[in-house]
A = this chain, B = another copy of it.
Amino acid sequence: MAHPKISSEDLIGRVADVFRTQGYQAASLSRISQATGLEKASLYHRFPGGKEDMVAAVVSNLNQWFQDQVFTPLERSGKPAERVRFVAQRLREFYADGSKSCALDTLSLPGGSAALHEAVRGSLAALLQAFTGIAREGGASGAEARERAEQAIIEIQGSLVLARVLGDCKPFHRTVDRLPELLVGSRSI
């Protein structure tokens, strides 16, 4: 990689933005070229496998983000509620206060390869497992912990859809604020 026009980090971020916003099918190479400042042939130099290669890198990058900002923090020591508060803040930043769609949502639409959809499924399953773990640590039984984790993901994804359609991010803020109570709180859900 001698003198790249754009760093690998910047590149993957800009590519990810296009896929996250548009979904796989509508994320055309022209759009990606425009977003990155690289011509199509240059994109093929960075991602020899074309679109499938690009989206695989995007999902891999997203998995790394979840690992660093969600999974690892949730496994640290300290009060479970405090760990969830930390993660909730990371998620708030990640989704830009609710104004950004979730890539796991948009990339789950038809259009990509089976491998892509399996990867997306795996990413959300990992998040579900991490949420289930912290809910169990917070005192919930196995079944209720799983249910709280599902509920947390439902409310995050649902409030992001609501924000995208209505342009109103307040429900997302409420969801994020209530995340600690939902996952490790004592009230019944």
Please give the residue numbers on chain A whose beta carbons come within 8 Å of chain B beta carbons, in ascending order: 21-23, 25-26, 101, 104-106, 108-111, 120-121, 124-125, 128, 147, 150-151, 153-159, 161-162, 164-167, 171, 174-175
Q: Is the CB of B23 within 8 A of A121?
A: no
Chain B residues with Cβ below 8 Å from A175 are: 154
Chain B residues with Cβ below 8 Å from A162 are: 124, 150, 153-154, 157
**Most chain B CB inside 10 Å of its own CB: which residue of A110, A158, A166:** A158
In the complex formed, the residue of B with least CB distance to A27 is B25
Chain B residues with Cβ below 8 Å from A120 are: 165
- CB-defined A-B contacts under 8 Å, sample of 7: A23-B23, A25-B25, A121-B165, A124-B165, A154-B154, A155-B158, A157-B161
In the complex formed, the residue of B with least CB distance to A168 is B150
Quick one: copies of this chain in the complex?
2
- Bound-state CA distance A159–B25 (Å) is 23
In the complex formed, the residue of B with least CB distance to A167 is B121
Chain B residues with Cβ below 8 Å from A150 are: 162, 171
- Bound-state CA distance A153–B171 (Å) is 10
Option from B128, B153, B166 in Cβ contact (under 8 Å) with A158: B153
Say how far A175's CB is from chain B's closest CB, in angstroms.
7
Chain B residues with Cβ below 8 Å from A171 are: 150-151, 154
In the complex formed, the residue of B with least CB distance to A147 is B174
Chain B residues with Cβ below 8 Å from A154 are: 154-155, 158-159, 161-162, 171, 175
Q: Is the CB of B22 within 8 A of A166?
A: no
Q: Is the CB of A124 within 8 A of B166?
A: yes
**Most chain B CB inside 10 Å of its own CB: which residue of A109, A161, A171:** A161
In the complex formed, the residue of B with least CB distance to A120 is B165
